[in-house]
Every structure is written in structure tokens, then in C-alpha cells.
Amino acid sequence: MNTKPAFSGLHPIKIKNARIFYDGSLQNLEMLFDQEKILQIAPEIEVDDDVEIIDAKGLAVLPGLVDTHVHLREPGYEAKETIAAGSRAAAAGGFTTIFAMPNLRPYPSTVETMEPYLEKIANDAVVRVIPFGTITDDEAGRTPTDYAALKKLGIHQFSDDGVGVASGDVMQEAMKKAVEADVLFSCHTEDMNYRAPGASVHEGPYAKKNGWIGIPSACESAQLIRDLGYARQIPVAYHADHISAKESVEALRQAKRDDVNCTAEVTAHHLLLEDRDVQDAMEKMNPPLRSHEDRMALIEGLEDGTLDFIANDHAPHTMEEKTRPMDKAPFGIVALETAFPLLYTEFVDRQKRWSLKQLLEWMAAKPAKRFGLEKTGELREGYRPDFFLADFDRTYTIDPADFESKGKNTPFGGWTANVCVMQTWSEGRPVWTRKDK
């Protein structure tokens, strides 16, 4: 069931015999919804005979996840991913809202390029896809984009992901214009002065042992510190992408003490892996997997609120690209279909370090709030009917061949997950159902 069914008007549906994640915990409740909103959540709900009943015995109903950092590659790089395949991958991972990064061809920097992109999303996506505009025209780092013009199309978030805005003068000008337009910046910080040609992994003893050229933490943290300095003077809504280094965590911690309007994300792979796990280009991503000390700082930063939520930097590539030598292969891994199962397995089920409530806040409620999504990220009456059904009694082995994504580039093949996404609903419609072998 990978397509949206055609409902004529509103079609009320009740889920029974499920454990519904409501008010912070899994509870034996029923849920009534249509294609506009959740109508009722209660221990028992009486309905008319014309209401469809779904028996979800043995399953949990969880709020649809929100990922604010996804690469769908279309237009321009359809061999890697498409809007259709990437949105199915999102649904397969429990995500019902994703934000699509703008490093595309053509870049969605103008109304003329954004309008057909929005139309393509409307036609092809099975979950809600919200595109970013660019911070600078075509991510060239020279001229701020016309944020006000794109905002009229509903674009409230902007990023030059894949590159940092190198010029401090341009960044300050862009921030001032962003304040005027009341839009949010989601920033990839990377000072290329710190990155040598062919650099592929974290700079440290492990890189040296393997003969790889390393990327120092300052490549990320120096530009982040610069931007946070500007944000102390210019009240821009600033979000830091895929934080990887302990120096970045500390810079964000201090900025929050100073009441800077900033938030930050961390990826599942930076929480689960570190530089010593790198074997080949399948573990190559930007920013790179860093040291054990860095990974612990990320986990602790997420737990204490310095880092605000989890986003995954889903970055599909062809296998031909990812099997090249380390210095020639592109950065990035796919993540949408593995993030929730692996984070739940490691931190909730095995370590007992996090609660399910914490994980869902970091993967749904908190990103929804920061990115201005109303009535999203929780299961409550009146909220969007976006959710997924999960089986917490089912264990499975991750096999990239089963991915909905065109990208199979993951370091997690063969890993075991102790929760299984069974079905995903977007706007009260089933958009993806697991197909068992």
C-alpha cells in the first residue's frame, strides 16, 4: 500500500486494540480521526456503523516523525534519489513530515524555480515535504536570496546546506534580511580553510593510522562560533545543522546562556558511530564521524538541551559512487529508514538511557515546534492525523536491499533493530505498509 487511497470527502476511521502514545506514554486507548484531524482519543469511542474500524492489536500508534534535514536529490540528481522514492523511504521510517534541502539543479532560489519544484512535490510525495530555499542565490555565497518573495509561496526556512557561507559580510547581510522577512536559517557550517583536498574523515590518530587525510573539528566549529557571534547582535532565528564536535556543543551551550535565538540538531549516525567505526567510504559523511569524546559530548548535549533534536541528513548516492576509494567517494549515507529503529534499540531498549517519550520529543515534537509546524508531532485531539504503527515485539535485521530509498549507502546493513515500523499514515491516509518477505 504505497499510494494515497482516493477518499471522497472525509472518511472517519477508528483504531482499536492498540497502545497509543498519548500524553507521554503508551496507553490502551482508541483513536478516531478523519483526513483533517484527530477527532477523539479515549479508552472507548462509540461510532456509527459507517465508520471504518482498524484492529491494531499488538501494535503501538506513535506520532509521525519530523526530519528537518533530508536530501531528496530531485531535480538534478535523480539517479541518487527522487521525491517519490525519498518520501516513501520517509514513510518506511515513520516520518510524516520532512524538510528537503535545496542543493539541487536548478537551485530553488527564486520564485521561478521554486514553483515547479513545489508542484512536483505535490504530485509525487506520499508524506508532507517542505522545501528549503537557499540562503544565497544558487548557494554561491555572494548575494542573499529574496526571502520575502519565497515566503509568499510558503517558504519560511532557508539553507545553503552542503557549503558554509564563507563571507562574514554576506552572512551578516543575509541575517539582517532574514530578520526583516521573519524566516529561519538552517546552517551547515564549514570553513574550507581547514579542509585539505582529499580530506575524508575526522582528523585524529585513527585517520593517521589508516593513511587518510583528516578534517579537524574547527572546520565545523570555527564558522559556527562566527555565526553565533553575529546572532548575538542580529536577532535571526538560527538553527545549526548536523553538529558533530564537542567544541560546537560548547559554543552552542554558551550561546544559549547568552539568550541567542539558536537551536541545533544531531544525526542518528553521529550518536551511534565514531571515527574508529570507519572501514571504507560507506562510513564517510560530512561532517565526519568524530572521536569517542565527541560522541559522548553529543549525547550529553542532547540530553541537557544544548542540542535540541535529531535530524538525519539523509544523503543518497549511487553504489558506484560510494564504492570509490575513500578520497574520491562522496560524503553521506541514507538514514530515513534506520534512524528511529536503531536509536530506539540502542538508547531506549538496550542501554535504558532514554525513554520513548524523550526519543519521540527529539524526533517529532521539538523539530515541529522549532520549524513552526502547527498541530504536528504529537497525538492530540485537533492535531494532524499523522502517525505510524510500530511493533515493539518484533526484531529484524536491516537489509539495504529492502529500502524504499534509491540509495543503499548505509553503514547499518546487518544491524539488528528491536522495533519495526509496520504502517505509516499521513493526513489520515495509509501511505506505506511493510511488506514481509
For 216-262, what is each residue's pLDDT tens digit? 999 999 999 999 999 999 999 999 999 999 999 999 999 999 999 99
Instruction: Tell me the per-residue pLDDT of 26-82, one tens digit each, with 9 for 90 and over.
Output: 999 999 999 999 999 999 999 999 999 999 999 999 999 999 999 999 999 999 999
Q: Where is 425: in which H helix or E strand?
A: strand 420-426
- State the pLDDT at residue 8: 54
- State the pLDDT at residue 342: 98
224 alpha-carbon distance from chain centroid: 20
- State the pLDDT at residue 9: 74
Instruction: Tell me the per-residue pLDDT of 106-138, one tens digit each, with 9 for 90 and over.
Output: 999 999 999 999 999 999 999 999 999 999 999
Please state, in angstroms and rounded to a whole number, the distance separating the CA atoms of residues 180 and 145. 13
| Active-site annotation holder among 67, 227, 313, 386 | 313
**Integer distance in angstroms from the first to the last C-alpha of the chain?**
15
124 counts as catalytic:
no
Please state, in angstroms and rounded to a whole number, the distance separating the CA atoms of residues 131 and 157. 8
Tell me the average pLDDT across 296-302. Answer: 98
Please state, in angstroms and rounded to a whole number, the distance separating the CA atoms of residues 285 and 211. 17
Question: Is pTM, for the whole model, over 0.85?
Answer: yes
Cα–Cα nearest to 336, from 104, 124, 123, 66 = 66
Q: Where is 99: in which H helix or E strand?
A: strand 95-100
Tell me the average pLDDT across 88-108. Answer: 98
Cα–Cα nearest to 60, from 388, 306, 321, 349 = 388
Decide if domain 64-370 falls under CATH 3.20.20.140: yes
What CATH number belongs to 13-61+383-433? 2.30.40.10
Do the beta carbons of residue 171 and residue 228 sit within 8 Å?
Answer: no
Please state, in angstroms and rounded to a whole number, the distance separating the CA atoms of residues 66 and 423. 16
pLDDT band at 437 (very low <50, low <70, confident <90, very high): low
pLDDT surpasses 80 at 141: yes
Q: Where is 322: in which H helix or E strand?
A: helix 319-322
Instruction: Tell me the per-residue pLDDT of 325-384, one tens digit each, with 9 for 90 and over.
Output: 999 999 999 999 999 999 999 999 999 999 999 999 999 999 999 999 999 999 999 999
Please state, in angstroms and rounded to a whole number, the distance separating the CA atoms of residues 118 and 71. 15
The domain limits of the chain are: 13-61+383-433, 64-370
Instruction: Tell me the per-residue pLDDT of 198-211, one tens digit each, with 9 for 90 and over.
Output: 999 999 999 999 99
**Which bin fits 138, alpha (ψ -120 to 50), beta or left (φ > 0)?**
left
Mean pLDDT of the chain: 96
